[in-house]
A and B are shown apart, each in its own frame.
Chain A
Amino acid sequence: MAPRMIRGAQAVAEAAALCRPQVISAYPITPQTVIVEELAQMIANGKLEAEFVNVESEHSAASVVLGASATGVRVYTATSSQGLLLMSEVLYNIAGMRLPVVLTCANRSVSAPLNIWNDQQDSISLRDSGCLQFYAENNQEAVDLLLLAYRVAEDHGVMLPALVCVDGFLLPHAYEAVDVPEPKEVDAFLPPYQPLYRLDPDEPLTFGAYAEPDKYMEARYMMQRAQEKAISVIQEAGHSFEKVFGRPISALMERYRMDDASTALVAMGSVIGTIKDVVDELRSQGQRVGALKIVTYRPFPKELIYHALKEMENIIVLDKAVSLGSGGPLATEIRAAFQGSPQPPRVSGVIAGLGGRDITMDTIKRIISQAQKEVMEAEFVDLREDMELEGVD
Chain B
Amino acid sequence: MDTSHLFASGHSACPGCGQAIAARLVLRATGKDVIIANPTGCLEIFSSNYTASSWEVPWIHSLFENAAPVASGIESALKATGRLDRITVIAQGGDGAMADIGLGALSGTWERGHDILTICYDNEAYMNTGIQRSGLTPYDASTTTSPAGEVSLGNPRLKKDLPQIAVAHGLPYVATASVGYPQDLDRKVKKAVSIRGPKYIQIHVPCPLGWRHDSALSIDIARLAVQTGLFPIIEIEGGQLTSARKIGKKRGVEEYLRPQGRFRHLFESPAGQQELKKIQEIADRNIERYALIRAG
Interface residues of A (CB under 8 A from B): 22-23, 25, 49-51, 53-57, 59-61, 63-73, 75, 89-90, 93, 97, 199-201, 203-212, 215
Contact = CB atoms under 8 A, between A and B. Distances in A.
28 contacts: A25-B76, A51-B77, A51-B80, A53-B112, A56-B105, A56-B108, A59-B65, A60-B69, A60-B108, A60-B109, A66-B66, A67-B37, A67-B70, A67-B71, A89-B63, A90-B66, A199-B74, A201-B33, A201-B57, A203-B58, A204-B55, A204-B57, A205-B59, A206-B53, A207-B58, A208-B48, A208-B61, A208-B62
Contact of A210 (B35, B44, B70): B44
Contacts of B58: 199-201, 203-207
B238 interface: no
Interface in B31-81: 32-35, 37, 44-45, 48-51, 53, 55-63, 65-66, 69-81
Contacts of B78: 71
Contacts of B74: 67-68, 70-71, 199
Interface residues of B, number: 44
A210 B71 CA distance: 19
A65 B117 CA distance: 19
B73 A69 contact: yes
Given A22-B80, A97-B62, A199-B35, A206 B73 contact: no
Interface of B: 32-35, 37, 44-45, 48-51, 53, 55-63, 65-66, 69-81, 87, 104-105, 107-109, 111-112
A355 B60 CA distance: 39
A56 B61 contact: no
Contacts of B34: 201
A121 B217 CA distance: 55
Given A63-B62, A199-B35, A209 B76 contact: no
Contacts of A54: 112
B70 A64 contact: yes
A76 to B, nearest CB: 12
B83 to A, nearest CB: 9
Nearest to B49: A210
Nearest to B109: A60
